Amino acid sequence: MAWMDSLRGVFRLSYSQKVFLLATVPLVLAVSAVSFLVLTQSRQLAEREIEALETQLIDAKREELLNYLSIARTAIVNIYGRAAPDDEAAKLEVTQILSSLLYGQDGYFFVYDYDGNALVSPRQTYLIGKNWSGLTDDNGVAITDELIRIARNGGGYHAFTWSKPSNGEPGRMAAYVIGLQDWKWVMGTGIFIDDVLDTVAMARADVEERIQRTFFLVILISVLAVLGVFLSGMILNLRERRLADAKLKNLTQRIIDTQEEERGRVARELHDSISQILVGVRYALELARRRIQKGDTRAAENLDSGIDSLGGAIQEVRRISRDLRPGVLDDLGLGPALKALADDFAQRTNIKTDLETAVFRNRLDKDAKIALYRIAQEALTNIERHSEANTVSISLFGGRSGAILRISDNGIGLPARIRTDPSSGLGLRNMQERIDQLDGTLRLVSHRQSRNTGADIEHGTVIEATVPLTHMLHPQASRPADRKTAS
């Protein structure tokens, strides 16, 4: 029994030791749990921000590709449109024009026929005249065959590894191609996205460095707190606990500030996408200058194109600034927000726009109002870009199934591909996703009719979004002061 008494003596704790353990163990456990939670959530949030940044940068590059390809299409459209499928002189002229359209350090336009033969490649002339069917990059990704397939289907994007003309080093290229179906040609251009990948890698490394700094800071705070408790006793322990809580709050605030900075940087990157439009303007003006120097009468077309693109850039800046968050939607409700949206659309496009709304007296919840407003934005954007309409009607009213937003136009209607598969259109897919989140329905009716036929056939598009009754608030859920405004 003596040895048991000795063992108890070893593990018997003094009062100060008990106080120390009572104060430090919960502190250590709490700091460890909070640190793990904060670091984990910080890493997850940062990773989501980086993914969003990468997506937006890639989208900006894709928009840049579309601008370049639009310029090339404008340069050859008159020749291609008048030429027969076997017009060799027209084909030669088009290849000469595309060969002269160079931009940046590595930018150029390429052409393959549907058999895989390279016809235009001004910066890598060794490709011309050879058949490149079956060509793959170092990762086994098909290049020529996939570009031909995409062009046959109407055009699209493709990413692969390609050597840079400037230095011959491999880089990641994003390409966009279209098909000149009459000639069975693939016309496209590509830009290297190594800068995007480098930016994302730097952002990820910066986030990891900040997380490590935070981790070491938390450990340092924890160690200092434990030492303070050990040296000062219960009173100092309580004081150090309060100090640690304050520091943890500051740490959380720093993480929130970091998140806001990341979001601000993403917003600036989105704003910088306007520069891609300006690149197209500059290219058009440079082309006009060269044509003026040569006495080419087509210079006016490039000047008009540059001016139109510049006006579009100005409008895009205003639209992005406004569309990030329409204040009238929060202040006055959905009805006034739609009124402001319709007035701006009519003024900007000279399209007659009628709006009819019902007063819901603030009966729609926040998610429903935002979703319907964004659907209206998307629909008007599509009408402006594609419909060729001169009249648009917007109505918002209530029914047995819920709140209904209907937008119709008298344009040329949707292409057969979109009518068959609405999800193939980016705008319609965004509308569908928004309404699906509310368990609502989206109905689309479109009649395709060319204005040039002169036929008196009904044409246009109707989009109807229905928000279910589950998103209608009870009358007592809204404040009396709010009932004076429409939803």
Q: What single string gives the DSSP state of each residue in 154-202? A: T-EEEEEEEE-TTT--EEEEEEEEEEETTTTEEEEEEEE-HHHHHHHHH
Q: What is the mean pLDDT of residues 324-328?
A: 64
Question: Do both 402 and 258 map to the same domain?
Answer: no
Query: Which among 205-209, 223-227, 365-369 has the top mean pLDDT?
Result: 365-369
Give residue-wise pLDDT tens across range 3-24.
455 545 545 665 556 666 666 6
Give the end of a domain, one of 228, 255, 272. 272
pLDDT of residue 359: 62
Residue 329 lies in a domain: yes
> Does position 208 have pLDDT exceeding 70, yes or no?
yes
Give residue-wise pLDDT tens across range 437-473.
888 888 888 776 554 444 444 578 899 999 887 777 7
At 206, which CATH number? 3.30.450.20
How many CB atoms neighbour CB 304 within 10 A?
12
Who has greater pLDDT, 475 or 193?
Answer: 193
Give residue-wise pLDDT tens across range 339-397.
888 888 888 889 999 998 876 555 778 888 888 888 888 888 888 888 888 899 999 88
Q: What single string gives the DSSP state of each residue in 253-276? A: HHHHHHHHHHHHHHHHHHHHTHHH
At 331, which CATH number? 3.30.565.10
Give residue-wise pLDDT tens across range 109-141.
999 999 999 999 999 899 998 999 999 998 899
Give the end of a domain, one of 272, 295, 317. 272
Q: What is the mean pLDDT of residues 281-301?
A: 81
pLDDT of residue 143: 93
Question: Do both 253 and 369 map to the same domain?
Answer: no
Question: Do both 371 and 449 map to the same domain?
Answer: yes
Question: Do both 106 and 249 map to the same domain?
Answer: yes
**Range of the structural domain that residue 82 is part of:** 11-272
> Does position 265 have pLDDT exceeding 90, yes or no?
no
Residue 132 lies in a domain: yes
- Residue 361 · residue 483 · CB < 8 Å: yes
- Residue 111 · residue 122 · CB < 8 Å: no
Give residue-wise pLDDT tens across range 308-323.
877 777 776 666 666 5
Question: Do both 229 and 350 map to the same domain?
Answer: no
Give 396's DSSP letter: E
Question: Do both 256 and 337 map to the same domain?
Answer: no
> How many domains does one find in the chain?
2
Look-up of token digits 């006495």 = 295
Sheet order of strands, 118-120 included: 118-120, 109-113, 185-192, 170-180, 156-163
3-state secondary structure of 219: helix
**If pLDDT is split at 50, 70 and 90, which confidence band does 97 have?**
very high
What are the φ and ψ backbone dihedral angles of 114, each rounded to 5 degrees?
A: -70, -10
Question: Do both 238 and 350 map to the same domain?
Answer: no
Question: Do both 76 and 189 map to the same domain?
Answer: yes
pLDDT of residue 4: 52
Who has greater pLDDT, 26 or 129?
Answer: 129
Q: What is the mean pLDDT of residues 45-54?
A: 74
Angle at the Cα of 289 from the Cα atoms of 92 and 349, rounded to 5 degrees: 95
